[in-house]
Amino acid sequence: MTESAELTARTVETGSLPVVDISALRTDDPEARAAVGGALHAACVDKGFFSVSGHGIEPELLEAAFAEARTFFTLPAEEKHRVAMTRDNYGRGYEHVGGQTPTVDQRSLPIDPAPGRQHLRR
Closest Cα to residue 24, out of 14, 35, 12?
35
Q: Specify the pLDDT at position 47.
A: 86
- Tell me the pLDDT tens digit for each residue of 50-103: 999 999 999 999 999 999 999 999 999 999 999 988 878 777 888 888 777 776
Mean local confidence (pLDDT), 8-12: 67
Q: Could you give the CA distance from residue 122 to residue 43 in angstroms, rounded to a whole number? A: 15
Nearest to residue 57, comparing CAs of 84, 7, 22, 17? 22
Percent of the chain with pLDDT over 90: 49
